[in-house]
Amino acid sequence: MAKGKNRNTLGKKSPWFGFGAAVLIVLLCVLSVLIYKSATLDMTNAPAPEPTDVAASSPPPAVSEGVEIPEPEETPEPVEPTPEPMPEFSPVAVAGTEPSKLITKTAVEVNGEVVEGYAPSEQIDFGYGADYTGMEGIITFRGNNFRDSAAFGFANLSKERFGSYWTKGTASLQAPDGAVWTGNGWTGQPLIARWPRETRAVMKNMHDWARQQEELTEVIYAAMDGYIYFLELGTGKATRDTLYIGYTFKGAGSLDPRGYPLLYVGAGYDSNRGRSRAFIISLIDGSILHEFGGNDGFALRAWHMFDSSPLVDAETDQLIYPGESGILYIIKLNTDYDSQAGTISVNPDNVVKWRYMGARTGDKYWLGMEASAAIWRGHIIMPDNGGNLMCLNLNTLELVWVQDVLDDTNCTPVLELEDGHPYVYISPSFHAGWRAYEGQTASIPIFKIDAVTGEIVWQVDYKCHTVSGTSGGVQGSPALGKNGLSDLIFFPVARTPGPAEGKLVALNKSTGQVVWEFKTLIYSWSSPVAIYNEDGKGYIVYCTSGGYIYLLDGLTGEVLDSRDLGGNIEASPAVFENTVVVGTRAQLIWGISLD
């Protein structure tokens, strides 16, 4: 019975059971509502997540009342990397390079007065060659103050050959002594500039179509016929009327590295208009703003020619111009360029001249600088016609070291920094009879020289011939290998191994070892140009007096293409991206595409 009673009691519902269940249900419902509202409130008040910031998309941390919340840290501004300082250049003579061994005296003139203890009002300090100008183009002989390139941009050769071309006819000029100068000759490199549209807008002597084009790259070519030619790079079409100055121009001249519309160019021979001299020309209207150097009473040699290309120190507004009379000119220009008004002027007021006398100077070993000079920091390195390679402090006008390079030097030195240490590559030409022990042949050395001490690092000799008036040896300037050709330096050697023959030689920079030689039946006075694809593959453009232009593989010397331009190519080409420009003595300027 007991079991049954218990069974009946458990199976029957108690009134307290129903009441408790109801209360429990109500409490569960209320709790659910509160939880829902709390969640909704949290979601409503939560900050919107930042889509680009993963950390910001996380929910904010729980905040307890009375706890101080730290301010978020500000993101620091990015710090510009500190530019690496330029290497110092403090050259010094060592045994064998003391200036007194080769130079007997020097003098300085400031504004017409000879001075002792020269002290400049402004310090000259050139930087890297790559920083010489912000302009797009080739604006002086071999490009900059290191003289290390006559090419701008990449060539991007896919077919590795010469393509389409244009030509522009030039003329001739007869000098007072009867000499006739034709076309473009040594050194004869064109200048090429891609002018900004706002600069072209003020060039009143530029044709309207050229001034108004969205983009224009202009060739400026001073020729031996007394004219300066202005041509569109891509077509050869005249961008301005040809400017007649009336003097024979052998050298390339220079454009102003600041982008100012100024052309600096020197005559290479006397004219019916007077003695040879240097000119500063406005590219706004073609007017001559200033001229100097003719009949200079400070000169020790009456040969006032200017075949070298000057440099401009942009920071101090000074023109630095070596002359064949044996004077180095440093001229404060006081340039005034108003790009809005379209006016430009110069007003030289501090003309400094430095001259020297060589221990061997006389009927042989002439005074004067015919090649262009290289400048690094406050020192100029310049070869002369008397077998001297001189390092001169531009801020004291004192010689630091002088190296004997044996003969007249028409080759412009190229300067390169190797791990911050400067070296110079150079080679002389060959004048018969200057070295008494030589006859019609002589050893012509190619030098690598330590620019700090003037010491010879290595030299490679070539046996060369000479003919009066058309020297053998090296007349062109070396091409410095970069990118895929960075181990090599390229020199044109004239009249070797035979009297009419020539070689382009590729030497290892470190050792001087011959890597390859390219021999031609006719020698070259022209300077080779190294060009590159975007991937760094290098080529050499090389011209000869036989009238041929060659495209060579820079690593091997293999001939990839050649073209006969129909006349002596003494001049040195310049290359802008995929276009080569060079003039000939046969009175044609050529623009040739590289495909």
Tell me the per-residue pLDDT of 128-172, one tens digit each, with 9 for 90 and over.
Answer: 999 999 999 999 999 999 999 999 999 999 999 999 999 999 999
Query: What does DSSP assign to residue 40?
Result: H
Mean pLDDT score of the chain, rounded to an integer?
89
Token pair in block for residue 66: 């009375």
How many angstroms separate the CA atoms of 173 and 433, rounded?
Answer: 31
Q: Name residue 312's amino acid.
A: V
Q: How confident is the model at residue 469 (pLDDT cuts 50, 70, 90)?
A: confident
**Is residue 218 within 8 Å of 230, Cβ to Cβ?**
yes
- pLDDT at residue 1 greater than cutoff 60: no
**Residue position matching structure tokens 């290998």:** 481
Buried b (16+ CB within 10 A) or exposed e, 397-424: bebbbbbbbbbbbbbbbbbbbeeeebbb
Q: How confident is the model at residue 433 (pLDDT cuts 50, 70, 90)?
A: confident
Token pair in block for residue 203: 């060039």
- pLDDT at residue 22 greater than cutoff 70: no
Residue 305 CB burial class (10 angstroms; 0-12, 13-18, ≥19): buried
How much is the pLDDT for 62?
41
Q: Which helix (H) or strand (E) holds 357?
A: strand 350-358
How much is the pLDDT for 363?
86
Token pair in block for residue 377: 């920091």
The pTM of the full predicted model, rounded to 2 decimals, is: 0.87
Buried b (16+ CB within 10 A) or exposed e, 176-194: eeeeebbbbbbbbbbbbbb
How many angstroms separate the CA atoms of 29 and 33, rounded?
Answer: 6
Q: Which domains does the chain have, with CATH numbers?
A: 100-594 (2.130.10.10)
For the chain, the distance separating the N- and C-terminal CA atoms, rounded to the nearest angstrom, is 118
How much is the pLDDT for 439?
72
Q: Say how many C-beta atoms besides its own lie within 10 A of residue 368's C-beta.
A: 26
Q: Which helix (H) or strand (E) holds 543?
A: strand 538-543
- What's the full length of the chain, in residues? 595
- pLDDT at residue 70 greater than cutoff 70: no
Query: 456: closest CA among 103, 94, 89, 90?
Result: 94
How many angstroms separate the CA atoms of 405 and 45, rounded?
Answer: 85
How much is the pLDDT for 494?
97
Q: Say how many C-beta atoms besides its own lie within 10 A of residue 452's C-beta.
A: 18
* Percentage of residues in the chain having pLDDT higher than 90: 82
How much is the pLDDT for 214?
96
Q: What CA dihedral angle connects 572, 575, 580 and 583, to 10 degrees?
A: -30
Q: Which helix (H) or strand (E) holds 517?
A: strand 514-520
Q: How confident is the model at residue 51 (pLDDT cuts 50, 70, 90)?
A: very low
How many angstroms separate the CA atoms of 312 and 256, rounded?
Answer: 7
Please state the rounded mean pLDDT for residues 449-465: 97
Kindly provide the residue ranges of all beta strands, DSSP E only, lying in 360-482, ordered along the sequence.
374-376, 379-383, 388-393, 398-404, 414-418, 421-426, 429-430, 441-450, 456-465, 472-473, 479-480
Highest mean pLDDT out of 12-16, 74-78, 120-124: 120-124
- pLDDT at residue 60 greater than cutoff 80: no
How much is the pLDDT for 437?
61
**Is residue 538 within 8 Å of 485, Cβ to Cβ?**
yes
How much is the pLDDT for 98?
98
**Is residue 311 within 8 Å of 282, Cβ to Cβ?**
no
**Is residue 566 within 8 Å of 175, Cβ to Cβ?**
no
- pLDDT at residue 14 greater than cutoff 70: no
**Is residue 358 within 8 Å of 384, Cβ to Cβ?**
yes
**Secondary structure of residue 74 in the 3-state scheme:** coil
How much is the pLDDT for 26?
41
Q: For residue 4, what are the contacts with CB-CB under 8 A and spacing of at least 6?
A: none
How much is the pLDDT for 82?
73
Q: Say how many C-beta atoms besides its own lie within 10 A of residue 438's C-beta.
A: 16
Q: How confident is the model at residue 71 (pLDDT cuts 50, 70, 90)?
A: low
How much is the pLDDT for 505?
98
Structure confidence by residue, pLDDT tens digits, 253-303 = 999 999 999 999 999 999 999 999 999 999 999 999 999 999 999 999 999
Q: State how far the alpha carbon of 492 is from the alpha carbons of 253, 422, 437, 504, in Å.
A: 22, 23, 25, 4
Q: Which helix (H) or strand (E) holds 42?
A: helix 15-45
Kindly provide the residue ranges of all beta strands, DSSP E only, lying in 8-130, ordered along the sequence.
103-110, 113-115
Q: How confident is the model at residue 434 (pLDDT cuts 50, 70, 90)?
A: confident
Q: State how far the alpha carbon of 203 is from the alpha carbons of 151, 195, 227, 581, in Å.
A: 25, 10, 19, 23
Please state the rounded mean pLDDT for residues 346-353: 96
How much is the pLDDT for 468?
80
Q: For residue 225, what are the contacts with CB-CB under 8 A and spacing of at least 6?
A: 170, 171, 172, 173, 181, 182, 183, 248, 587
Q: How confident is the model at residue 81 (pLDDT cuts 50, 70, 90)?
A: confident
Cis peptide leading into residue 497 (ω within 30°): yes
How many angstroms separate the CA atoms of 508 and 378, rounded?
Answer: 29
How many angstroms separate the CA atoms of 437 and 445, rounded?
Answer: 16
How many angstroms separate the CA atoms of 576 and 39, rounded?
Answer: 70
Structure confidence by residue, pLDDT tens digits, 296-347 = 999 999 999 999 999 999 999 999 999 999 999 999 999 999 999 999 999 9
Identify the bridge partners of residue 423 per DSSP, sorted by sequence position: 416, 450
Structure confidence by residue, pLDDT tens digits, 174-202 = 999 999 999 999 999 999 999 999 999 99
How many angstroms separate the CA atoms of 368 and 387, rounded?
Answer: 10
Structure confidence by residue, pLDDT tens digits, 535-591 = 999 999 999 999 999 999 999 999 999 999 999 999 999 999 999 999 999 999 999
